[in-house]
Amino acid sequence: MIFNMKKQNGISVIEFSIVSTVLLICLFGVLELSKFVFSLQMLNEMTRKAARMATVCEIDQGSVIPGLNSIISIAPTDYEPSMLKIDYLDDTGVTIYSGTGTITNEDFLEIKFVRAKVENFSFGFTLLSSLLGDNVGIPAFETILPSESLGIYRPDGDGNEIAGPSCL
């Protein structure tokens, strides 16, 4: 009888180790997945905020927006400012200005939309990298908003010029 009890205790230890291993892998998988989804949401929020800033800031400041603290503070850990692009589009979605060079007055008047787009971002798994891989490429995230003032402010009713927000 005593000999059978020892066999049962050994089986219980093996069963526990198998079940606990599976449960821990599932737990770590849920943690990794939640971290991944959170990073996707932060990319979405980052493009939304950058596009909003680009609609009210001067066009020549569009290249500065990806490196601002307000953008970097909400970005996932693997983000680099070169991944975020600000483009100014016409009413058909064609890029008129992308932050380099000069823009003519005619082109400026054609701008109807602003696009903030994150490209070449890859998420690095940490807990289960041997099962899920080291990095996963993320498709481009973009937000397109209608252009607003683009840094040009009309004078108030008394003819006084209103100072616009500083985007720097």
Average pLDDT by consecutive 10-residue portion of the chain (168 residues)?
61 87 89 88 93 88 87 88 92 87 86 92 75 75 88 68 63
pLDDT of 51 reads 93
Structure tokens at 35: 């971290």
pTM of the model: 0.77
